[in-house]
Amino acid sequence: MPQQDFTPLRGKASSPSIEDRWEELRANIRKMWPDLSKDDLKEIGGDSRKLIALVHQKTGADIHEIEERIAELAESSEGLLNRVVRSTQHAFSTASEHVTEPIAQAYTATRQQVVASPVRSVGIAFGAGMLIGLCAASLINDVQNPPPRRFW
């Protein structure tokens, strides 16, 4: 892969950058190039140019080879991230299904109750609204005019 075709770790917002996955890649980079220390990788901070230069300096490896191995790491990490995203999406959809059904049942039951006895429902709603309003007013009053402290 020629130098000009190499996509740096920073930039290019079209897909998740290696910089976003830097923490995950750090361990794989150290396995691939054990001569790099944790401090070296912290100093790089996800910049591919710095990584290439440092690996070349520490190992003497060919720059094109380093670029290819970094690209392989990025591709393998992309697959890992896609699996994580898919499992997270699946968990979210499953959770939303479990929440949606009880809410729909509660809505249906409430609607049936309102249709069956509208006057009673309005009275309950009015009473609940008054209670919530009084509580809110009391809290606002306590915040604006805190009660005196009692020491007994």
Residue type, 45: G
- pLDDT of residue 148 exceeding 60, the answer is yes
- At 10-35, the pLDDT tens digits run 444 444 445 556 666 777 888 888 88
Q: What span, in angstroms and rounded, lies between the C-alpha atoms of 33 and 55?
A: 7
d(CA 2, CA 19): 21
Query: In this structure, what token pair is assigned to residue 124?
Result: 């309950």
Q: Is the pLDDT of residue 4 over 50?
A: no
**Which of the pair, 119 or 92, is modelled with greater confidence?**
119
Tell me the pTM. Answer: 0.39
Residue range 50-70, pLDDT digits in tens: 888 888 888 888 888 888 887
Residue 8: the pLDDT is 46
